[in-house]
A and B are shown apart, each in its own frame.
Chain A
Amino acid sequence: MRARRAGLLALTLLCWTVPAAGQTRFSWPDTTVNLAAYASVEECQAAVSRVRSTLATQEALTTGHWRDTIAFAPAELTSPPPPPVTATARGCLTRFAAADSVPLTEFDYLVPLYLAAGWRDRLRTLVERRLAAIPPKAEGELAAVIDTLVSMYLAQGAWSGYGHAPQFALTEEVVTRYLPRVSDRVRRLKVYFRVMHANAADWVMDTAAIRRLAAPALPVLDSLTERERARLEEEFGLAGNGDNFAERVYALLNVTTGKWAFLDALRRSTAEFVKLKRDNWARATGQPPETYLLGMPIGERAPELRGDIWLGRSDSAPRPRPGRVSLVVFIANPDCLGPVVSDRMMYDSCAENLVPLRRLAQRFPALEVTLVAQSRGYFAYLKDSVTPAREAELTKRWLEAYGVHAALVMTATDFWRLPDPDGRRIDRDAPNRVNYSFGKSWADGAKNRRAFLVDQDGIVVHVRDINRYSEEEFGEMIEILLARGGGRS
């Protein structure tokens, strides 16, 4: 009893007085950074990238939105660096501002910083010096420097993280001025392809620039010897989804064909659209047309979705429903629908895909979206009582919380467990997943977050992950398909 009273007294004392100041200070020095004391280019790189990320922070904190969930706007990528970035770069670079005398060993690192500082003239001086420093016979070095410079200007590869906008005009300037000095046709062609490919991005699509660049490049492409083509393929590689020759050539042809030619073809019919794509593919790669673009099932008939539980479907018509433009989206991400481990994980696995999907669904009410899921035996922290039906219900509520209102089909997953004490659950692939792999070797075609755009006749038109960068492309094609009406493939 006495002890209890003591506890109460202690409590009273804790709340007894509101002190004016405490014992600890947590002093925090002035966060003004003395940029003039920065002694190396890398510190400036660090400072500039920190300021960029701080600006993004501030934007997120003021607007409450994280940029990556806002619809993509091309202006994001072409706008000049924000004033604090420019100021930081300029303040930091005082020791490295003399473009006519800075050590050329710093060239690769200074170019992005000069861009951040908005120093175009100094940049030209620096580039001129760098190229002039190459001995006349060192053609390999010249090609390599131009290649790197193009990467830096276009913010590609290792330079994509620097945060500067792609510099198309500067890139073209360099290519026009210096690339003809490279006599190796393959090397030259590689650079042309890269630059044209960049200009052919959906959000740029500068056809005039592409034609200008294509003028010297296309004759080379068409007159490649066997050996040269073999070299190109060897150096870029033909397989895979990344940075490869086939894609570049294909893009080039697409551009020379014209993006609008594709969309026009799609306007006419899906078959024509598919044929145009396959022909370009064959021309670019020398491969048969049916191997079209890295195995994407464009032109295939979309299988009917099957499932144990359907939610949000107004009738029992098959999906994708004949006569409707459909988007079939596979939703199975355990990080999005599983236990909460971190905010970041939920962003990476949920918002990034679901927010653009919501926007597409809202923009095209006539689009029939079907979300395809398979049960996993848990939802978030729930496990004990989770039946596939309950899981479907919870998943749907969760997606609706992101504004995604659509039909959901859930397959009760067939699974088994490794014998105890291991006990790990091994899921078998659900039929929808298998069917949407079209019996091809790329069996993960129907992986998480992948979306299949299907026309009114049930033919697959477009396949990509849904995110803010693919959003616009999906939008254009959906718009055309909806306008086209059914029955024209």
Chain B
Amino acid sequence: MSDARILSAEDCEALLARAHAFARGGGDTTIGVSSWWQGELRWARNRVALASDRRNIGVTVTRTVRGGHPGYVSTNQIDDVSLEAAVRAAERLSRLEARMGRGLGYFPPQPAYERPESTIWSDATPGLTTERSGEVARALIAPAEAKGLLSAGYLEVRVAAQALLGTDFPELRAGKHAFWHHPYVRWTQAYCSTTVRDPSGMASGWAGASSYDWARIDPAALAQRAVEKCLASRNPVALEPGRYTVILEPQAVADILEVLVGSFTSREFPEAGIDGPWRLGPDEALQLWRTKLGLRVVDERVTISHDLAHPDLGILTEPHEYPGPVTWIDQGVLTALAHQLPTAIQRLKGHHSLRGASGYRMSGGTSSVEEMIRTTKRGLLVTRFSNIRLLDGVSLLSTGLTRDGLWLVENGQITKAVKNFRFTESPLFVLNAIEQLGEPVRVFRPMRGEGEPLSPAIVPPVKARDFSFTSTIDAI
């Protein structure tokens, strides 16, 4: 299905061709174009606060006149005159400083490979019309209102597309594929999350989901869940800070893993001796830095993997990303780190770049959350975390808050709602203190910028020992 709310492949091709034609003065040109549409709905206090329909375009022009420096400008206008003005402006910047050209030369073409088709497109997502979203909003709000609670939330459907075409190193081109040529890709995504609060402000519950496919999001279930959490959060008691066994719902697991999955980027850093979680130490004999690749870094029940081409996990926007699945942590052992193309060519076995784990899947176990509760003598059940900040880049020690539902579990039963805590803990510690794992499920991922693709996460609930809560907070 074509969607006229964004630029089509043909539109983008024509636009790139037009923009390229404006280049004067030789050298190289790279033009990128992106286009997005978002249908959005915000509600609060049980009423829709704003419904919006927004779209924009982004064009980035990089011009390197012969002998010049790359000049970079961006615009959101795609008429000829604006594009030409942007190209001229980039050329003007390019002439401000000189750079050596590539000289003469011959380089062999890149190895050609089949780029996997990656579609995270669902017609259901742009198919959520304004009229239909009105009904959805009422379905989301009604359960809370019926209980005398206040619902707030956000629903968004988006379609977006991007393409990029450059002229650099024509001799390296292999068929349609080159690192400066990102063929047209488009995607859909949908977010829905809701917070239900007691009018007294003394209880709050949350539920959220995100997927490329609106049809996979069940608004009624989300509303129900948020209402239940809110009701169960009433009359919280303050507990002493300290170490607790925690039962982390999948959302909380994803929240605290964020800094860990972000650390799988750049194998080059630990290999260059730069401080970080994956640097091991210098190897004097070989004159290189050893990394923790191959070492067990977390509990052996943990496997964290990713398949860029799988619609549940992400989207390929650049053709030279690693085309196959990747396992970052395999049964507790660190097995992969993202790297640049030259690193693979010069030192490793492949010839690909490996993007970081923007989307990922963590392995699980067979325990349900209910079972985790049943088997807990004393512990805390955590809905999600908020306001997380990394404190130490080596240990990944982070601080953050519990939010929207925290309960005390005693002798196998939830006994009380608990006031929120600030925690000081590292995801590496948590993954080394696992007691039980549940079935992995898709969770809500933090929103990214307008038009950017979704990076999904599939994680299990986790029961872990000795989670460090450092102070109580008043916020609900």
Contacts and interface: CB of A to CB of B under 8 A. Distances in A.
A and B touch in their complex, CB below 8 angstroms: yes
B335 A28 contact: no
A178 interface: no
B200 interface: no
B67 A60 contact: yes
Contacts of A403: 104
Give the most central of B100, B341, B349: most A CB within 10 Å. Answer: B100
Contacts of B293: 421-422
Nearest to A402: B104
A381 B110 contact: yes
B387 interface: no
A338 B286 CA distance: 22
Contacts of B86: 24, 26
A14 B33 CA distance: 15
B246 interface: no
Interface string B1-20: 11110001011001100100
Given A340-B172, A384-B111, A334 B346 contact: yes
Given A21-B81, A383-B345, A424-B347, A15 B67 contact: no
B95 interface: yes
A8 B200 CA distance: 56
Interface stretch (A127-135, A236-244, A341-349): A341-349
Contacts of A11: 8, 10-11, 14
A20 B104 CA distance: 40
Contacts of B350: 383
A7 B341 contact: no
Interface residues of A, number: 64
Nearest to A23: B77
B328 to A, nearest CB: 10
Interface in B60-89: 64-68, 73, 75, 77-86, 88-89
A22 B2 CA distance: 28
Contacts of A57: 67-68, 95-98
Contact of A53 (B81, B97, B105, B109): B97
A82 B348 CA distance: 50
B336 interface: yes
Contacts of B169: 340
A3 B2 contact: yes
Interface in B321-335: 333-335
Interface stretch (A393-401, A465-473, A474-482): A393-401
Nearest to A422: B293
A421 B107 contact: no
Interface in B91-128: 92, 95-111
Contacts of A161: none
A376 interface: yes
B15 A23 contact: no
Given A60-B100, A355-B103, A381-B111, 9 more contacts: A4-B2, A22-B85, A61-B65, A69-B103, A339-B346, A380-B110, A403-B104, A422-B290, A425-B346
28 contacts: A6-B4, A7-B2, A7-B4, A22-B77, A22-B80, A22-B84, A23-B79, A24-B86, A25-B85, A26-B88, A57-B67, A57-B96, A57-B98, A61-B67, A61-B98, A66-B101, A69-B103, A339-B342, A344-B99, A347-B102, A347-B103, A381-B172, A383-B111, A398-B107, A422-B290, A422-B293, A422-B294, A426-B288
Closest 3 CB pairs of A and B: A22-B81, A22-B82, A57-B98
Interface of B: 1-4, 8, 10-11, 14-15, 18, 64-68, 73, 75, 77-86, 88-89, 92, 95-111, 169, 172, 271, 286, 288, 290-291, 293-294, 333-336, 341-342, 345-351
Interface of A: 3-4, 6-8, 10-11, 14-15, 18-26, 28, 53-54, 56-57, 60-61, 64, 66, 68-69, 334, 338-341, 343-344, 346-347, 350-351, 355, 376, 378-384, 394, 397-398, 401-403, 417, 419-426
